[in-house]
């Protein structure tokens, strides 16, 4: 017997599970925090900054080429994001800035507010298994 189902119906088989939305109101300027856990099925992740202060978004781990970094570091090196060391991050401007990343974005993501932004900065993150 064939399986029948309409678009979005309970019998439709797909890797999409609907969007997962994370809302934060405590992104601070001193300690980066994880804002999206790793998701091996993720195809797209979107960051939206509804607040007035800029926020930096970065993967929790970065890829460094062996031979150009201190011994023992290679792929999946933890990134310690600070306002003095922003390499590996992308800026999401305040007052409605957005950042969409598709494709190779399955790892965990972190956020840090710009210097002098305080501790109560908002950020909205949408994680999708469908591009």
Mean pLDDT by 10 residues, the chain (131 residues): 46 57 97 97 97 98 67 75 95 98 96 97 95 70
Tell me the domain boundaries of the chain.
25-123
Beta strands (DSSP E) in the chain are 20-27, 33-36, 44-49, 55-59, 61-62, 77-78, 90-92, 97-102, 109-113, 121-128
Looking at CATH, the fold of the domain delimited by 25-123 is given as Jelly Rolls (2.60.120)
pTM listed for this prediction: 0.80
Determine if residue 95 is left, alpha or beta; phi over 0 gives left, psi from -120 to 50 gives alpha, anything else beta. left
């Amino acid at each position: 017997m064939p399986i029948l189902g309409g678009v979005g119906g309970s019998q439709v088989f797909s890797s999409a599970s609907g969007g997962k939305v994370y809302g934060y109101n405590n992104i601070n300027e001193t300690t980066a925090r994880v804002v999206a856990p790793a998701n091996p099925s993720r195809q797209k992740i979107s960051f939206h900054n509804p607040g007035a202060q800029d926020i930096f978004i970065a993967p929790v781990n970065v890829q460094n080429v062996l031979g150009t970094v201190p011994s023992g570091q290679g792929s999946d090196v933890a990134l310690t994001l600070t306002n003095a060391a922003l390499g590996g991050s992308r800026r999401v401007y305040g007052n409605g800035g957005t950042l969409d990343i598709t494709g190779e974005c399955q790892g965990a993501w972190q956020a840090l507010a710009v210097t002098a932004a305080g501790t109560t900065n908002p950020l909205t993150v949408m994680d999708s298994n469908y591009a």
